[in-house]
Structure 1
Amino acid sequence: ILISCSQLGLTNFKLSCEDGQSGPTHESMQAVFDLKPFRPVVNLSNPTITNISFTLYAVLGVNEKTQILTTFLWLRLFWHHEFLVWDPDECDGITRISLPVKKLWSPDIIIYEFVDDDVSQACPYVYINHTGHIRWDRMLRLVSACNLEIFSFPFDVQNCTFTFGSYMVSPALTFEEMSGNSKRYLEASGEWELVVILGEASILQFGIDEWDIITFWVVIKRRPVLYVVNLLIPSSFLMLIDILSFYLPPHSVDRASFKMTLILGYTVFLLIMNDLLPSTANGTPIIGIYFSVCLALMVISLLETVIITNVLHHNSMKYREVPRWVRVVILKHIANLICYRQPEDVPPPSKAQEDKPERLDNCSGPWIIQPRAQEPAPHPASTTDLSELRAHLTSLQQDSERQDQWCHVGYILDFLLFRIYLLLISCYALVIICMWCIWIHQT
């Protein structure tokens, strides 16, 4: 369809202006408005190139479960309208005007990652230069699909893709300029900070059709301070209390009850903080593994307390002889390995203390009180009675020695298992610190 310039109200492809009027006349622009369905070129073989740039203003939310990133962009489009050209000298020096975007042809820009309805606030006007160059600034609330990697949460870095496509499209600014502008506006944002914006222009072919696309890679990094304060530090304090609980004397304090209460408190802590942890079907974040390992270490600590309590209570009350291999392996070799020194023998009790309950100086407790010696009968003792009394006292002395040995076995095992537990905690802390350093180096 051929339309003459006179029919459009255009003279030499320029809008007309009247004397005393600022800008082109309404009649000449109305002729351009009537051509809205057509691409604004005189020769349809001439391409209309759309230039795109955007500024990442805010990261509104990251949903790890649905793998969706919600951002707010300031999108800027540039293209050339060959019919909106006028001479500023003839139009009272006017070089730029604004017109409703609904009255003009606008390029069709598609964002391939868009997964929701566009509920952005509309920007109704475009700015037009006297040379026919149009600039359209619009605000875009972009809900896009993004493959989120949450393994290193809360020290994760996400790389999301924004793909803009049209028949003829190119970047309006360099990717470094877009990244710099976005960093200036994103400094006041909350949880996320922008690392860099990268991009690449390419051609996408669908059969015989070719589409120009611009792919932007937006790299954002999470600020982990909130999660360190609310998750990692309280968990570390509970682990520290669990370590310090080993200094409670196992013979006089119910250490097992204390550790069970600590495990219960840690479980409640995990339930309360469960909402802060992301969850996806792709994997488990490392912080979840960290909490699981901490809980497992607390259970191991409780198991160690159960073993020591069994040695101090169960074996000593049966008055069984300490096996020879236990004396050789534990009381000799392991005691020397952990530098455990048994206290010197206590001198025999005086006559005033014979009537008092006898306790071991190292294993004093309600379960190892020695039975009081029977008082001698008022009548003269026979030889048989003296022999029985001596045998009874000898049996009590042997029981006291067995109890003393079992008590030292329990203490040696307690010291040994405590040091092994400290070694596990140290290795675990070293792994966490190394991962932290690797994350710092990568970012």
Structure 2
Amino acid sequence: MMEVKTVRLIFICFSLLHGFAEALRCTSPTLESLFDALEREVFNKKHLRPVKKPTDALNVSVGMTLEGILGVNEKAQSVTSLLWQVLEWDIEGLSWDEKECGVRRVSVPRDKLWIPDVIIAEIMDEDTSPFIPYVYLYNTGRVYDDRPLRMVTSCRLEIYTFPFDIQNCSLTFGPFLHLAEEILAESKNVMQIQGEWELLDIKGAPRTLNIIAGSYSEIRYYIILRRRPILYVVNLLMPSCFLIALDLFSFLLPPHSVDRSSFKMTLILGYTVFLLLMNDLLPVTGNSTPLMNVFFSISLALMVASLLETVFITNIQLSGDQHGVMPNWLKVLVLRYLAVIVCVPRAKRNRHVAMSPHAPARAMNISSVSVDTPPVTPLHEPALDELRKLSKDLMAIRHHVDKHFKGNHMSQEWQMIGIVIDRLLFGLYIIFILICLITIVCVWTVSSSHVSS
């Protein structure tokens, strides 16, 4: 008898050294008997950490499933997300036999057990998710706490490459009261995502914060999200590119045509209305300006510049001879250098030679000499007077023709100025469109490479 007691005592000591305790005893395989046993052994200790010694560490497994991104507020630098948080830990020494008690798993009211105080450090607003009153308790002493979280967390959003931006937001799970010596966190991550954003990667890294009282242990998840750009490409980029292309092809209209100015004014009005309607889709933040906003601003500026250039050219085409003689520096800058850059051929110089005002006088002297040389008779006096009057009329006509050709030459120079400026703005339009197209393709390609990698 003494040997049996000794063996039993040795077995009990061995079990205590290895953290084992006696399993729960159920009077019948029913939930009532199991809850009676839990009430006696577990529920009355809900204010204590389920460990044998106060110095023992309790391992808590932290997992989450990201269901979706409900909203992104660029101005407030916050993200509203819906996720399922999973916490798992063991109640040390708790177990029961499945056959004896009738069940392997049972749902237990949350307020009957000790719950770890794991919170998310980046949370900015109160959790509005529905309250889950139960947790699962297994016959091995494993507690499984699975509940949804709808929360607003802070995230530094970089929208410079919008809508091809990639965001890196963090979720830090850590205890509020217990130190690292009391709770050690381990993580499992199973991520799902829907809607405007798609998941590129998720990384978890445990770390320890040292303070005076001890050290805190926490898990930080880095969630890398990529915005799906198709919506913004179709609703923002493509309509804007269509309007810019129309403004580009408007240069094919005659510069002096009034329809060209009215056409450009209609385009500017339509582009302004388009920007006002699409303003809600553009992100607003004080940290940085997206490239798309810069693209829209430059496009509107080019449209206004093309309208002003059309007004200037129309003025030159219709009243170029009233501007006077062109300054020499302007003639050299535009007609000699800019005309070569935009491939505008130089106008041929007018070969009309203006007669000197003294030339008719010399002609009159010659004619008078040639007329006075032969003997003059009274019968020829009327014819000579008519010739002199005709000579004066020819002088007036010649003077008027010279003045006309001189004004026409100045008008041609001013018209050439307008043609060169029109061709220069047309070239700038083409260069701007090509640069924007190359930039969009490059940014989109880099963003897509993150998905493939």
Bin the TM-score by the shorter chain. 0.7 to 0.9
The equivalent of 1:223 in structure 2 is 228
State the Cα distance separating 1:424 from its structure 2 match: 4.0
Which residue does the alignment assign to 2:72?
62
Which residue number corresponds to residue 137 of structure 2?
128
Is residue 46 of structure 2 the alignment partner of residue 36 of structure 1? Answer: yes
What is the rounded CA distance, in whole Å, between the counterparts of 2:340 and 2:54 in structure 1?
95
> Cα offset for 1:26?
3.4
SS of alignment partner, residue 90 of structure 1: helix
Whichever residue aligns with residue 170 of structure 1, its letter is A
Compared with structure 1, are the counterparts of its residues 95 and 298 closer, same or farther at alpha carbon in structure 2 (3 Å cutoff)? Answer: same
CA RMSD of aligned residues (A): 3.0
Q: TM-score, normalised by structure 1?
A: 0.78
* Superposition pairs of residues 273-292 of structure 1, within 5 angstroms: 273-292=278-297
Residue 82 (structure 2) aligns with: 72
Query: Hey, which of these two has a bigger chunk of helix by percent?
Result: 2
Aligned 1:100-115 pairs, distance under 5 A: 100-115=109-124
The structure-2 alpha-carbon separation of the partners of 1:323 and 1:237, relative to structure 1 and needing over 3 Å to count, comes to: same
Is the Cα–Cα contact under 8 Å of residues 21 and 94 in structure 2 kept in the other structure?
Answer: no
Partner of 1:53: 63
**In the alignment, is residue 205 of structure 1 matched against residue 217 of structure 2?**
no
* Offset, 1:412: 4.1
CA contact (8 A) 1:334 1:412 kept: yes
Larger radius of gyration between Structure 1 and Structure 2: 2
Matched residues, percent identical?
A: 42
The one-character-per-residue Cα deviations of 1:67-115 (angstroms, maximum 9, x if unpaired) are 11111111111111135421224334x3222211221111111211111
Q: Report the equivalent of 1:155.
A: 164
Say whether residues 1:426 and 2:434 are aligned partners.
Answer: yes
Q: Map 1:236-255 to 2 at 5 A.
A: 236-255=241-260
Structure 1 residue 336: Cα displacement? 6.1
Inter-partner Cα distance in structure 2 for 1:261 and 1:114:
49
Instruction: Describe the SS at the equivalent of 2:101.
Output: coil
Q: Deviations over 1:245-303 (max 9, x none)?
A: 11110123343333233223222222221111111221211211111121222233233
Q: Are 1:71 and 1:142, in contact at CA under 8 Å, matched by a contact in 2?
A: yes
Amino acid at match of 2:271: Y
1:301 aligns with 2:306: yes
User: RCO higher in 1 or 2 (8 Å CA, sep ≥ 6)?
Assistant: 2
Deviation of residue 430 (structure 1)? 3.3
In structure 2, what is the equivalent of residue 171 of structure 1? 186
Mapped contact 2:187–2:204 kept (Cα < 8 A): no
For the residues of structure 1 that align with 2:219 and 2:348, how far apart are their CA atoms? 80
Equivalent residues of 1:340, 1:412 under 8 A apart = no
CA, structure 1 residues 13+308, in 2 after alignment: closer, same or farther (shift >3 Å)? same
- Counterpart selection for 1:146 from 155, 160, 169: 155
Aligned partners of 1:43, 1:336: CA distance in 2, in Å?
90
Contact 1:13 1:82 in 2 (8 A): no
Q: Which residue of 2 aligns with 1:368?
A: none
Once the two structures are superposed, what CA deviation does each residue of 1:211-243 show, in whole Å capped at 9, x if it has no partner? Answer: 210111111111111111111111111111111
1:26 and 2:31 equivalent?
A: no
- The aligned residue for residue 348 of structure 1 is none
Q: Confirm or deny that 1:257 pairs with 2:257.
A: no
Looking at structure 2, the residues matched to 296 and 169 of structure 1 have their Cα atoms a distance apart, in angstroms, of 59
Contact 1:61 1:69 in 2 (8 A): yes
Question: Is the 2:335–2:346 Cα contact (8 Å) retained in structure 1?
Answer: no
1:429 & 1:172 partners in 2: Cα distance?
44
1:410 counterpart residue number: 418
Q: Could you tell me which residue of structure 2 aligns to residue 267 of structure 1?
A: 272
1:82–1:330 Cα change, 3 Å: closer
Partner of 1:388: 396
The SS at the match of 1:136 is strand
| Residue aligned with 1:106, SS | coil
The number of equivalent residue pairs is 387
